[in-house]
Structure 1
Amino acid sequence: MQNGNSIFSRLEVKKYILKKNLKRDLPSSIVVFLVALPLCLGVALASGAPLFAGLVTGVVGGIVVASLSGSQLSVSGPAAGLTAIVLGAIGQLGGYQTFLLAVVLAGAMQIVLGLLKGGMIGNYFPSSVIEGMLAAIGVTLILKQLPHALGVDSDFFGDMSFFQTDNQNTFSAIGNAFSHFTLAAIVISGLSIAVLLYWPKLKKVNVIPAPLIVVALGIILSIAFQGTGYALNATQMVEIPVVNGWSELTGLFTMPNFSAITDSKVWIVAATIAVVASLETLLSIEAVDKIDPIKRTTPTNRELLAQGVGNMASGMLGGLPLTSVIVRSSANVNAGGRTKMSAIFHGVWLLLSFLFIPGVINMIPLACLAAILLVTGYKLTRIALFQHMYHKGWDQFVPFVITIIAVLLTDLLKGVAVGMLFSIFYLLRTNMRNPFFYKIQEEGTKKNLRIKLAEEVSFLNKAAIQVMLNNIPKETTVIIDGTNSRYIDPDVLETIFNFKHNAFTKGTIVILENIKKQYTVPKLDSKIIEEINN
């Protein structure tokens, strides 16, 4: 009976937590839906795929991936970083249906990566690089959404590249927008930003999400400007396909061409998509965990499995490859999302909006959605973050800044790769300085040099130790102490033993204390693992 009461109590607690979180997750899901909708369409357009494919991918990313993922705040969907790959692959493979087969195979490869524990790669991205990536995304959002907020941008809404597909770069697009702005767009975006900043401070009415007010205001103002010389045109509005009847809906779905399964080009494209999508996902997951207010940690291997299932489902339904997307995920965090229900609901809203209210959705100005992303970008790249990274020291600040610049000028993966190179440089420099410490001991008229090795002495320490040993004066007694060392790399051991072997030629006496001829990499004790699991 007591056990039954215990189960009942746990169920009550779960219901309470779910109800409490839904108060945050439902409003947040609407924000993510409003941000994701034009991004899904923009990425599909830039990829040379049907607009419907972008919506399908967003729905699958919201409902399927979020349900299987271990992340509570990540939101998946079509990624702008894959547009160039998708556009080229569709042409290379000779048709969209063959490309869909590559998407399905890429999903299967991601599942294999997850089963092989490939998610551990995500643990090796330095914090400074991840923080730099987040700040770069924030700056990019501000720079990229300014033209849309001003009502002038011929490029697609989700473009995140410095060099755009309309033969402009980020800065020239902003300059062009300031020269040819639309008054209606400025009024809509300006009022939208004001609502986003001040509406949450109004205690009695802030239960209604500010972005929902922004969208309603945008629709009302766009209608008010109609019939005047300042009316918004079709390119300044959200535009989703309008389906009339069940037959039109079913006709939009496309099946993969499985007859091309033996084509080597399909497998190469699939492998490319799997690797790039997995890396973008792991980067995004790491970044989302950084900005999670509750500081939860996402199981990366499970995330790869969820992404793999999502890509297989998307490919089977005629959708694009998907990843965890930092823009949507950051909007989710900033809107107050708490659990994966926010991402799942956003997928439901995408589906319902397409099926039942496409006419209303097509009345939303891009300017008010740009305002939502401008505020999101501002929160990601606040001045306090730069001050925080500066106070951490140059070894953190330099990779942070370099990552920002590299991401802005290239793309997410290339920028992170450049940031990683600088981070590795500082890591090597730090390791070279900290493999040992030494002190000079006086024994009568003689001076002994005692070198105490660190707990972990890796290959990275070899150069520093070799330089130090080579600079020891002749006719010195050297004591190399490995008492505290759990592991010494074989290359370092070889350097030490060679030094001892040749020391007599310099009249140097070398004494080795507690240094083994061979070390094995230390493993976590099984009893400790058992205690952690319990």
Structure 2
Amino acid sequence: MVFLVALPLSIGIAVASGAPVVAGLIAAIVGGIVCAVVGGSPLQVSGPAAGLTVVVAELVAQFGWKATCAITAAAGVMQILLGLSRIARAALAIAPIVVHAMLAGIGITIALQQVHVLLGGGPRSNAWENLTALPGQVAAPQWSEVLIGGLVIAVMLLWRFAPGKVRVVPAALVAVVLATSVSYLPGLSTDRITLDESVIDAIGLPEMPEGTWSAIAIAVLTVALIASVESLLSATAVDKMHTGPRTDFNRELVGQGTANVGSGLLGGLPVTGVIVRSTANVSAGAKTRASAALHGVWLLLFSVFLVNVVEMIPNAALAGLLIVIGIQLVKLAHIDLARRTGELVIYCVTLAAVVFLNLLEGVMIGLVLAIAIAAWRIVRVSIVAEDLTDRIETDGPARWHVAITGSCSFLALPRLTAALASIPPGAEVFVDLNVDYLDHAAMDTLTEWIRQRRDKGDEVTVTETGTARMEFAHDRPPRRDTEGRRVISALRSILPPQFAGGVDRFNNGLAPLLRMADADAPHDPHTMLVTCADARILPNLITDSAPGELLNVRNVGNLVGGDLSVESALSYAVERLSVRTIAICGHSGCDAMHDLMHGTARGSMQQWLDHGAESLAAFRDYHPVARAAAEAGFTGADQLSVVNVATQVQAVQRHPQVAERIAEGSVTVVGMFLDLATARLYLVGAEEVTEIDQRGASTAKSATT
């Protein structure tokens, strides 16, 4: 299957590169066999790729074909050295958006070249000339060529609508065979591929390039880097298509380099990993590297014994094939991704530079722009100064909040000074400094402003929650994640690592979200939640509640009656805080309910669980909610946990202060049960258990239904 896909593509890429047709077949044979045997990607298929077409065409025009083969071999040596140095993954550090734009630029360049061939003419030397000459070529087409090339384009685009069993045959093969057959109809005349020699005759040693060493070095570096990046990115994509062994990137780079050395010495095109052939390989059910090697063997047999078949193919057919391949390199998904991620400028600039300058300059321009934008995103800082006076409704001085977040350096001084200057005299200012980088220039500006405000009698409060601290700004060069973590380092020496790490994450992530703009804001939770002390219960998480919304009371078994701490919390909640809801939450797998049910508790634990005697008695008397819990699938101590929730709800409802609020309609008491195994939450009534599913629908299980 891969052989059938690779055959027309290899020939077409050779034609588009300005190289001998057999050079594409040689590269496909060597790449298929050598990379499969030596490389580190089990299912990737290698051969000549469209991504190097423009580069090879420029090298052939500058140095000649034989010298280009020498450059290919030298690039292979460089790839081997890179693989042996074990830095293959460094090639993946190139911004993917630049690679996407590079491939799109190559695709547009190929399409602009080949549309002239499809119209019966010849390609110009660069994209601008191809573009400006296109109107004249369109005005005087060769209709036989247009018919044949258009037929290939139509088949390639419409093949995905064919029946599934028919689509097993590659579209490129069907298109070329059909167009070749049509080209022999009476009245049609077309130029066909010419093979000056067979694959065996074409094998020969390359020639040393003539030119400056710098030009040769740049050519070798260009081929090596582009071939390496394209191969490694392709291997990464192939790994996502199957569940077998993963790619050894360093070994894969050695394999690609070995193949390029062999291809260059034998007179072939540069070799890379090719995603089109690799996708066909995986889709056809390949399991081992033998499939990629056998595709090379099939190509070798075809090239030796069926050479005359190649010369039957019209040039216009390959032009149509290459136009489709070129357009397919421009992926709308990549453009949309660039738009959504704010990288559309990088994409467009790189694409335009590749098309209208050359591949190397285009990629370098794209990389520089990507690095510049990334650096800007890293060093930029958010500075917000807002007046909180109207929100707080205070009779005192105006209150302002200044939030500085990110990396604060001298680059931010214009915005920092403007924000600070906007705060009126006499205002009380809260400065929230949450930065991971603070240089001395920004620190000096901030401290001088604070000093001046305080000298005038204004109150300025500074909170520092980031890893960069003002006290260290003059001690040494600015750095990230160093002295700001001294407290965490000290914690790690005396606390469990999980706890210290949690404090670390809190300081650098959640703390800024928890700070209140107004420290005098009233404590006004809407719900009191009584839950078990079990460490697996996270009240604010399971109720999706923000700080200040829940009054949490926790004890072993979420028991209410007879405990002074719960009594005082109830009084505080309804009298002082005027909560609107009181909720009791039990859970599955509760050790307290297990001990209560089986009488295994001892000492103070046994004394505490005596408060659950009413729940145990109700359970043994077959409380209606116990039967509902059984119908919901709960057994043993979990049923007792559900009954305990219902019993504690009743106990809270009997509380004098709560009962008074219930009568007024200002307080509601509810019961909840959390099944830890499924993370499902249930509402517990007097006689029913109601499951709340993920879509918000509920199904009730009661003793009466």
Separation in 2, partners of 1:337, 1:125? 28
**Do the aligned partners of 2:385 and 2:402 also contact (CA within 8 Å) in 1?**
yes
Aligned partner of 1:224 in structure 2 is 185
* Residue 77 (1) aligns with residue 25 (2): no
- Residue identity matched to 1:221: V
Q: 348-357 vs 463-472, which deviates more? A: 463-472
- 2:130 pairs, out of 153, 166, 169, with 169
- Residue identity matched to 1:146: V
RMSD between aligned alpha carbons? 4.6
Separation in 2, partners of 1:380, 1:102? 26
Aligned partner of 1:123 in structure 2 is 93
Separation in 2, partners of 1:197, 1:74? 24
Separation in 2, partners of 1:126, 1:383? 15
* Residue 495 (1) aligns with residue 464 (2): no
Question: How far did residue 267 of structure 1 move?
Answer: 8.2
- 2:216 pairs, out of 243, 247, 269, with 269
Identical-pair percentage: 24
| Count of aligned pairs | 453
The 1:65/1:222 distance shift into structure 2, 3 A limit, reads same
**Do the aligned partners of 2:92 and 2:233 also contact (CA within 8 Å) in 1?**
yes
Separation in 2, partners of 1:172, 1:221? 29
Q: TM-score, with normalisation over the residues of structure 1? A: 0.67
Aligned partner of 1:453 in structure 2 is 405
Aligned partner of 1:154 in structure 2 is 122
* Residue 144 (1) aligns with residue 104 (2): no
- Residue identity matched to 2:48: G
Q: Structure 1, residues 64-122: CA drift from partner, whole Å, max 9, x if none?
A: 2355153855644273233366347747xxx947x766544432322333425254243
**Do the aligned partners of 1:106 and 1:270 also contact (CA within 8 Å) in 2?**
no
- 1:191 pairs, out of 135, 151, 156, with 151
**Do the aligned partners of 2:386 and 2:402 also contact (CA within 8 Å) in 1?**
yes
Aligned partner of 2:511 in structure 1 is none
**Do the aligned partners of 2:242 and 2:282 also contact (CA within 8 Å) in 1?**
no
The 1:453/1:413 distance shift into structure 2, 3 A limit, reads same
Q: Structure 1, residues 471-523: CA drift from partner, whole Å, max 9, x if none?
A: 413867766555x65x42xxx33234322554467345684635442645689
Question: How far did residue 188 of structure 1 move?
Answer: 2.5
* Residue 59 (1) aligns with residue 17 (2): no
The 1:431/1:320 distance shift into structure 2, 3 A limit, reads same
- Residue identity matched to 1:451: A
The 1:171/1:255 distance shift into structure 2, 3 A limit, reads closer
Structure number, greater radius of gyration:
2
Higher relative contact order (CA 8 A, sep 6+): 1
SS at match of 1:169: helix
SS at match of 2:403: strand
Q: Which runs of no fewer than 5 residues in structure 1 stay unpaired? A: 1-25, 529-534
Aligned partner of 2:263 in structure 1 is 314
The 1:176/1:255 distance shift into structure 2, 3 A limit, reads closer
Question: How far did residue 292 of structure 1 move?
Answer: 9.3
**Do the aligned partners of 1:41 and 1:55 also contact (CA within 8 Å) in 2?**
no
Q: TM-score, with normalisation over the residues of structure 2? A: 0.53
More helix by share: 1
Separation in 1, partners of 2:280, 2:150? 19
Aligned partner of 2:546 in structure 1 is none
Aligned partner of 1:113 in structure 2 is 82
**Do the aligned partners of 2:102 and 2:363 also contact (CA within 8 Å) in 1?**
yes
Aligned partner of 1:39 in structure 2 is 13
The 1:64/1:120 distance shift into structure 2, 3 A limit, reads same
Q: How do 1:133-532 residues align onto structure 2 when only pairs under 5 Å count?
A: 133-150=102-119, 152-155=120-123, 161-163=126-128, 168-173=129-134, 175-176=136-137, 178-183=139-144, 185-200=145-160, 201-203=162-164, 205-225=166-186, 228=187, 230-232=188-190, 236-243=191-198, 249=200, 252-254=203-205, 269-270=216-217, 272-279=219-226, 281-282=228-229, 286=233, 294=241, 301-324=250-273, 329-330=275-276, 333=279, 344=293, 346-381=295-330, 388=336, 392=340, 395-420=342-367, 423=370, 427=374, 430-431=377-378, 434-435=381-382, 444-445=396-397, 447=399, 449-454=401-406, 457=407, 462-464=410-412, 467-469=415-417, 471-473=419-421, 481=432, 487-488=436-437, 492-500=438-446, 502-503=448-449, 506-507=452-453, 511=462, 513=464, 515-516=468-469, 517=472, 519-520=479-480
SS at match of 1:211: helix
The 1:289/1:377 distance shift into structure 2, 3 A limit, reads farther
Question: How far did residue 355 of structure 1 move?
Answer: 1.2
SS at match of 2:420: coil
- Residue identity matched to 2:90: M
Separation in 1, partners of 2:479, 2:232? 35
SS at match of 1:451: strand
Separation in 2, partners of 1:281, 1:341? 22
The 1:52/1:107 distance shift into structure 2, 3 A limit, reads same
**Do the aligned partners of 1:120 and 1:301 also contact (CA within 8 Å) in 2?**
no
**Do the aligned partners of 1:162 and 1:408 also contact (CA within 8 Å) in 2?**
yes
Q: 442-451 vs 366-375, which deviates more? A: 442-451
Question: How far did residue 346 of structure 1 move?
Answer: 4.9
The 1:397/1:478 distance shift into structure 2, 3 A limit, reads same
SS at match of 2:127: coil
- Residue identity matched to 1:499: T
Q: Structure 1, residues 349-385: CA drift from partner, whole Å, max 9, x if none?
A: 4422321111111111122233333334454447677
**Do the aligned partners of 2:14 and 2:269 also contact (CA within 8 Å) in 1?**
no
SS at match of 2:189: coil
Separation in 1, partners of 2:168, 2:463? 71
SS at match of 2:347: helix
Separation in 1, partners of 2:196, 2:480? 62
Separation in 1, partners of 2:177, 2:35? 30
Q: Structure 1, residues 105-156: CA drift from partner, whole Å, max 9, x if none?
A: 43232233342525424334153x4444444444444433323333x13349
Aligned partner of 2:642 in structure 1 is none
